[in-house]
Amino acid sequence: MKEADKLLDHIEDDLHLYTIIYLALYTELRRGELIALRWKNIDLENNRLFVRESVNEVRGKGLIFKEPKNDSNKKTIDFDENVTALLKHYLKKTI
């Protein structure tokens, strides 16, 4: 993960970008899942998030939010205290 750490060190001054990249690295969310993630789908008390939507870019229509085609594509992802701390920090700084 040396490359990941280098990337995070390089973008640490941009809290928004840092948070997105950190989540991508440590939760293994797909791009569309990450973009569609909403605060209502994050459980900071129990260190987990729920993938209930994804985003696709449709030429001429822009970004389209959609639910997974079947329930097996809905998933719960547990994360560690570091992700929780980062998300709490992000919330504190952006609200």
**36 and 54 in contact (C-beta within 8 Å)?**
yes
Give the CATH number, domain containing residue 26. 1.10.443.10
On the 0-12 / 13-18 / 19+ scale of CB atoms within 10 A, 20 is middle
Count the neighbouring beta carbons within 10 Å of the beta carbon of residue 26: 16
Given a contact cutoff of 8 angstroms between Cβ atoms, the answer to whether 51 and 34 are in contact is no
Residues of the chain with pLDDT under 50: none
Residues spanned by the domain of 87: 2-94
Contacts of 46 (CB under 8 A, 6+ apart): none
Into how many domains does the chain fold? 1
